[in-house]
Amino acid sequence: MDSVIGIKRLNPETNLPFKRGDRDERGFYFVKYKGNNLIKKNGFIQECWVKNLDLYLKNAANLKKQKYEDLKKKIKNGNIIINKRLNPKTNDFYKKGEEDRYGNIFIQYQFGHITKDNFYDELWKTKKQYFDYMILSTLNRIKRRSKHKNIKFDLDFEYLKNIFPQNFLCPVLKIKMEFADKSNRLNPSLDRINPKLGYVKGNVAFISFRANSIKNNATFEEILAVGNWLKEMEKQNE
């Protein structure tokens, strides 16, 4: 049976589909098109409009949060059992960075998004989408950290993409980096070259988590001293 496809009514001011926040002649705000399962007799998709957009979004966020908390309680109390689909290659749970047979890359199981047969929904990306997703995730994480710790920040998505090593080689240890499960020490890590200057253009570089953990907050002299000491110890034990 063919699915019914509705038509999105256009904003007469832009001649484009309505966007959230657009206002009509009544003073109401557009929220969303309701989907192809709700088609008017004239073939147009039904629309959601509200008088107070801020209040609507606040109530929607509270409702979503409450549903999330209710689901957590049900799972904790054993009232509902949610399954995770296994990776057929490993017979274990999927880990971030693993590929399926189509070349798509696994991101995460989505808690709060449950399929009809009680499995966690999954978030997947194509290889190109995955790289962009991980760069954007890094940017957002660093931005939040900078705001929380009052660290100077002026980075953007395109800048981070441009400075990422094209060959994926860590510039410090010359090992191949990979966006994978967070426990993987080969994960790319955004490092401040001079911690005092903050996350600003010209002062950051992608290096492996392994290299970053070695560097941590140590000075050049301290790292060199440790390296020289280890080298001397190895000589004595030959």
Q: Residue 4's pLDDT band (boundaries 50, 70, 90)?
A: very low
pLDDT, one tens digit per residue, over 61-71 is: 898 888 878 87
Per the structure block, which two tokens stand in for 210? 């392994």
Q: What is the mean pLDDT of the chain?
A: 87
Closest residue by Cα to residue 123 from 144, 157, 98:
98
pLDDT, one tens digit per residue, over 40-90 is: 777 888 899 999 999 999 999 898 888 878 877 877 888 878 899 999 999
Return the sign of the alpha-carbon dihedral for residues 23, 24, 28, 30.
negative
The domain spans of the chain are 10-72, 82-125, 128-208
DSSP H helical ranges for 28-126:
53-76
Higher confidence at residue 231 or residue 151?
151
Q: What is the pTM of this model?
A: 0.63
Per the structure block, which two tokens stand in for 130? 């995955």
Residue 76 is given by DSSP the state H
Residue 134 is given by DSSP the state H
The answer to whether residues 8 and 33 touch, using CB atoms and an 8 Å cutoff, is: yes
Q: Which residue has the tokens 């705001």?
A: 147
